[in-house]
């Protein structure tokens, strides 16, 4: 069989969405960014909005996201993507607007901007990639770093007594009346990636309703920063990160998910995962 | 409805001008002595009439980044603040200059450093005219000396910002911001349509992939040679701006032997000091820079070169004097008279300083 025999429409089982440019991504193998980029691009293609969308990229590993998406993009200053997205949506309400940020960008330096954009109920989609570390600058502690976890700026493990607690910012945002849809997803298995795509599609569709922020956190690994292989990192994430940052919806159509209400009632109690990590 | 005469504060004139010239969005945060800009806009509610967006942001950081993003989409957007808040905006202004975007920011200056005072000052001259944030860039800086100029410079500021795709600043102070004067206001002009923006701003990220190619707005270029080329392009714009858009006003300079150089409210006070001096036979003129960057170097060199001495009168410890000295290449003695920390000099004080210099 020749190459020409194989490349036929009837044999086609997968192709790159036209919303992604034909560019090689700079992300580390095993990182969640590439998968989430593809999911967003597919959603944009399926919704037919490629010519009516503006993306906002952050500062961090995904600073160059605009090199991969074939849609109009604005590169924000560190942490300010929600302010940028707010302005663009207000000035161009007919345009779909999404921000894309990591945990250092969103939860640390950009904490005020994300809080207030959510509190104002901006009619935008926010994508938040949480890998518990600063990836691009070389693996420093983030607000989302688990207690006990080692990074280059907490080489003996994060000690909450001197370095603060692991921040569950998404849970806080869900409690603001300006958020309409808040969910935590992951992409490290095909099943989870499919579920995540459904969530991101929902988060974009919601912009048609003008009901407030749709916020999708995607818990990811940072195998380079965590100093593990991709497989080890996913296993570690499953055993540790997801115990403290469990997957699932927190708020749907402006209403709390019953499991989320049960879960926040336990926030004043010690978390087993953090306790076991700290004991090491 | 044609032109109308109104009595208003300088800060209100900024807001009124924005609505009437067809500005698309204002993003601001309260700080004395400029809060009337946002207050006037919220009272007028242009979002119900012209469609102009007005938003009280959570901080000056958010405001300037909202301006950055709004400008990225080709909209005419602005912010205003006063000194401490303007300091917070410097990073954003650097991004706006780096991404080559047009935007307008107003600084109604109060005395510093630090939290300082809420009284008027001109102590942000260096910050505004020399860049302020990181990197090699300049702000096109307009210095109004009346409430009428506060009004007029909004549209002029946007015109210059779009001509050069660079942020423009109105460097005012607490006097011009708070004083009430009569202002001739224009009739309402329509905002630019999205079609007009698509046609005239091909660099804008409108969301529509104009020309079938996605538009990226960024100030990031990691390769040094490419970043240098961007810097060269920006510097070429600045040379053109210095050549074409330096503005000044010369008053009673033809027969003058001595010269005041002053801008904004200091220039207004110098006008009275000139009367006092000329009544006593001291022939003094005034050059009032209207653009502080580009500084009217040629005019100051030409007029100042004919003088016996020059007095740079500023409400600061001596900032513009450096540009005056550079303009005359130190061929003419240049002295400084200033009050600072929020103190406004009187005409008599300036006249006394002139007499001391003349002796």
- Residue A149 C-alpha, separation from nearest chain B C-alpha, in angstroms: 32
Please determine, for residue A111, whether its predicted confidence score (pLDDT) is greater than 60: yes
Chain B residues within 8 A of A99 when measuring between CB atoms:
none
Average pLDDT on A41-60 reads: 97
Inform me whether the C-beta atom of residue B219 falls under 8 Å from chain A C-beta atoms.
yes
Average pLDDT on B240-248 reads: 98
Confidence of residue B220 (pLDDT cuts 50, 70, 90): very high
The two structure tokens encoding residue A239: 């055993």
Inform me whether the C-beta atom of residue B92 falls under 8 Å from chain A C-beta atoms.
yes
Write down the pLDDT at residue A8: 83
Write down the pLDDT at residue A170: 98
- Residue A175 C-alpha, separation from nearest chain B C-alpha, in angstroms: 19
Chain B residues within 8 A of A77 when measuring between CB atoms:
65, 68, 91-92, 95
Beta bridge partners of A182: A215, A251
User: Where does A16-279 sit in CATH, by number?
Assistant: 3.40.50.970
Same domain for B155 and B297? no
pLDDT digits over B17-50, tens only? Answer: 999 999 999 999 999 999 999 999 999 999 999 9
Chain A residues within 8 A of B206 when measuring between CB atoms:
54, 72, 92, 95
Find the CB nearest A92 among B59, B67, B207.
Answer: B207
- Residue B46 C-alpha, separation from nearest chain A C-alpha, in angstroms: 13
Q: Residue B307 falls within a domain, yes or no?
A: yes
**Residue A4 burial (C-beta neighbours within 10 Å; 0-12, 13-18, 19+):** exposed
Same domain for B168 and B303? no
Domain positions in chain A: 16-279
Confidence of residue A94 (pLDDT cuts 50, 70, 90): very high
pLDDT digits over B151-160, tens only? Answer: 999 999 999 9
Chain A residues at the B interface, defined by Cβ less than 8 Å, are: 50-54, 56, 63-64, 66-67, 69-77, 80, 83-88, 90-92, 95-97, 112-113, 115-116
Q: In this complex, how many residue pairs, one in chain A and one in chain B, have their CB atoms less than 8 Å apart?
A: 124
Average pLDDT on A30-42 reads: 97
> Inter-chain contact B216–A66, Cβ cutoff 8 Å?
yes
Write down the pLDDT at residue A76: 98
Which residues touch A269 (CB under 8 Å, ≥6 apart)?
none
Same domain for B124 and B267? no
* Residue after which a domain boundary falls, among B176, B194, B212: B194
Write down the pLDDT at residue B89: 98
> Inter-chain contact A116–B61, Cβ cutoff 8 Å?
no
Please determine, for residue B97, whether its predicted confidence score (pLDDT) is greater than 90: yes
* CB within 8 Å of chain A, chain B residues 15-44: 24-25, 27
- Residue A204 C-alpha, separation from nearest chain B C-alpha, in angstroms: 15
Please determine, for residue A10, whether its predicted confidence score (pLDDT) is greater than 90: no
> Inter-chain contact B208–A63, Cβ cutoff 8 Å?
no
Find the CB nearest A88 among B73, B216, B220.
Answer: B73
> Inter-chain contact A75–B99, Cβ cutoff 8 Å?
yes
Q: Which of A57, A62, A83 to mutate to test the interface with B (most CBs of B within 10 A)?
A: A83
The two structure tokens encoding residue B51: 């469609």
Same domain for B190 and B273? no
CA-angle at A218, arms to A214 and A223, nearest 5°: 160
> Inter-chain contact A54–B73, Cβ cutoff 8 Å?
yes
- Residue A225 C-alpha, separation from nearest chain B C-alpha, in angstroms: 22
Backbone angles phi, psi at B330, to 5 degrees: 60, 20
C-beta of residue B332 within 8 angstroms of C-beta of residue B310 = yes
Same domain for B57 and B149? yes
Q: What percent of chain A has pLDDT over 90?
A: 90
Write down the pLDDT at residue A279: 66
Search chain A and give the residue with CA nearest B218: A75
Inform me whether the C-beta atom of residue B167 falls under 8 Å from chain A C-beta atoms.
no
Beta bridge partners of B183: B6
pLDDT digits over A175-190, tens only? Answer: 999 999 999 999 999 9
Q: Residue B209 falls within a domain, yes or no?
A: no
Search chain B and give the residue with CA nearest A54: B207
**Residue A182 burial (C-beta neighbours within 10 Å; 0-12, 13-18, 19+):** buried
Find the CB nearest A77 among B57, B77, B95.
Answer: B95
Please determine, for residue A274, whether its predicted confidence score (pLDDT) is greater than 90: no
| Three-class SS of B195-218 | HHHHHHCCCCCCCCCHHHCCCEEC
Q: Residue B222 falls within a domain, yes or no?
A: no
Q: Which of A91, A108, A121 to mutate to test the interface with B (most CBs of B within 10 A)?
A: A91
- Residue A1 C-alpha, separation from nearest chain B C-alpha, in angstroms: 37
> Inter-chain contact B91–A86, Cβ cutoff 8 Å?
no
Query: Distance between CA atoms of A149 and B229, rounded to whole angstroms?
Result: 43
Per the structure, how many domains does chain B have? 2
Q: Judging by DSSP bridges, how do beta strands A255-256 and A213-219 pair with one another?
A: unpaired
Which CATH number covers residue B43? Answer: 3.40.50.970
Same domain for B34 and B147? yes
**Residue B187 burial (C-beta neighbours within 10 Å; 0-12, 13-18, 19+):** exposed
Chain A residues within 8 A of B95 when measuring between CB atoms:
77
Q: Residue B284 falls within a domain, yes or no?
A: yes
Please determine, for residue B1, whether its predicted confidence score (pLDDT) is greater than 60: no
For CA atoms A209, A211, A213, A216, the dihedral sign is negative
Find the CB nearest B205 among A50, A73, A85.
Answer: A73
Same domain for B105 and B252? no
Please determine, for residue A247, whether its predicted confidence score (pLDDT) is greater than 80: yes
Query: Distance between CA atoms of A132 and A111, rounded to whole angstroms?
Result: 15
- Residue A195 C-alpha, separation from nearest chain B C-alpha, in angstroms: 27
pLDDT digits over B285-325, tens only? Answer: 999 999 999 999 999 999 999 999 999 999 999 999 999 99
Chain A residues within 8 A of B72 when measuring between CB atoms:
74, 84, 88
> Inter-chain contact A54–B62, Cβ cutoff 8 Å?
no
Query: Distance between CA atoms of B136 and B114, rounded to whole angstroms?
Result: 25
Write down the pLDDT at residue B258: 98
Inform me whether the C-beta atom of residue B77 falls under 8 Å from chain A C-beta atoms.
yes
Please identify which residue in the block is written with the tokens 């193998």. Answer: A29
Write down the pLDDT at residue A280: 60
Average pLDDT on B47-61 reads: 98
Write down the pLDDT at residue A273: 75
For CA atoms B269, B271, B277, B280, the dihedral sign is negative
ipTM of this complex: 0.95
pLDDT digits over A19-31, tens only? Answer: 999 999 999 999 9
Same domain for B186 and B276? no
> Inter-chain contact A88–B70, Cβ cutoff 8 Å?
yes
Mean pLDDT, all residues of chain B: 97
Q: Which of A60, A69, A74 to mutate to test the interface with B (most CBs of B within 10 A)?
A: A74
Domain hosting B187: range is: 4-194
Confidence of residue B211 (pLDDT cuts 50, 70, 90): confident
> Inter-chain contact A116–B58, Cβ cutoff 8 Å?
yes
């Amino acid at each position: 069989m020749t190459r020409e025999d194989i490349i036929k429409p009837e044999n086609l089982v997968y192709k790159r969405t036209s919303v992604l440019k034909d560019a090689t991504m700079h992300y580390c193998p095993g990182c969640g960014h590439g998968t989430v980029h593809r999911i967003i691009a597919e959603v944009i293609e399926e919704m037919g909005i490629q010519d009516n969308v503006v993306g906002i990229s952050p500062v961090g590993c995904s600073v160059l996201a605009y090199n991969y998406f074939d849609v109009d993009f604005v590169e924000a200053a560190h942490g300010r993507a929600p302010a940028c997205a707010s302005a663009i949506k207000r000035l161009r309400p007919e345009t779909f607007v999404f921000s894309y940020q990591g945990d250092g960008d969103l939860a640390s330096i950009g904490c005020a901007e994300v809080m207030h954009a959510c509190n104002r109920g901006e009619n935008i989609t926010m994508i938040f990639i949480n890998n518990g570390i600063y990836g691009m600058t070389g693996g420093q502690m983030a607000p989302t770093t688990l207690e006990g976890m080692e990074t280059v700026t907490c080489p003996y493990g994060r000690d909450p007594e001197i370095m603060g607690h692991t921040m569950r910012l998404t849970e806080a945002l869900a409690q603001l009346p300006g958020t309409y849809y808040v969910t935590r997803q992951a992409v490290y298995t095909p099943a989870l990636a499919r579920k995540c795509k459904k969530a991101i599609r929902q988060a974009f569709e919601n912009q048609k309703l003008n009901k407030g922020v749709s916020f999708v956190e995607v818990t990811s690994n940072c195998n380079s920063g965590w100093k593990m292989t991709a497989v080890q990192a996913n296993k570690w994430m499953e055993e540790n990160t997801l115990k403290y940052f469990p997957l699932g919806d927190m708020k749907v159509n402006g209403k709390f998910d019953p499991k989320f209400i049960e879960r926040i009632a336990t926030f004043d109690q010690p978390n087993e995962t953090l306790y076991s990590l700290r004991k090491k | 409805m044609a032109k109308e005469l109104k009595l208003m504060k300088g800060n209100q004139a900024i807001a009124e001008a924005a609505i009437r010239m067809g500005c698309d969005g204002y993003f601001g945060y309260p700080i004395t002595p400029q809060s009337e800009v946002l207050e006037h806009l919220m009272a007028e509610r242009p979002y119900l009439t012209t469609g102009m967006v007005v938003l009280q942001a959570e901080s000056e950081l958010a405001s300037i980044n909202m301006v950055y993003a709004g400008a990225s989409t080709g909209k005419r957007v602005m912010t205003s603040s006063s000194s401490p808040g303007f300091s917070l905006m410097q990073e954003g202004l650097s991004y706006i200059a780096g991404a080559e975007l047009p935007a307008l920011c107003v600084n109604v200056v109060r005395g510093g450093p630090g939290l300082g005072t809420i009284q008027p000052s001109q102590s942000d001259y260096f910050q505004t005219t020399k860049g302020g944030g990181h990197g090699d860039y300049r702000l096109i800086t307009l210095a109004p000396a009346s409430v009428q100029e506060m009004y007029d410079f909004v549209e002029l500021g946007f015109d210059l910002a779009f001509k050069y795709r660079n942020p423009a600043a109105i460097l005012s102070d607490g006097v011009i911001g708070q004083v009430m004067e009569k202002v001739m206001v224009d009739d309402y002009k329509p905002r630019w349509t999205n079609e007009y923006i698509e046609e005239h701003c091909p660099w804008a990220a409108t969301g529509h992939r104009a020309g079938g190619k996605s538009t990226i707005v960024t100030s990031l270029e990691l390769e040094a040679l490419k970043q240098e080329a961007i810097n060269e392009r920006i510097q070429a714009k600045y040379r053109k701006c210095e050549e074409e858009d330096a503005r000044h006003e010369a008053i009673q300079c033809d027969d003058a032997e001595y010269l005041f150089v002053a801008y904004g409210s200091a220039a207004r006070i110098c006008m009275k000091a000139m009367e006092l001096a000329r009544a006593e036979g001291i022939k003094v003129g005034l050059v009032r820079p209207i653009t502080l960057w580009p500084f009217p170097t040629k005019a100051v060199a030409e007029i100042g070169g004919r003088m016996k001495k020059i007095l740079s009168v500023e409400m600061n410890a001596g900032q513009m004097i450096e540009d005056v000295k550079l303009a005359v290449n130190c061929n003419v003695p240049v002295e400084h008279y200033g009050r600072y920390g929020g103190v406004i000099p009187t005409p008599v004080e300036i006249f006394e300083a002139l007499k001391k210099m003349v002796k």
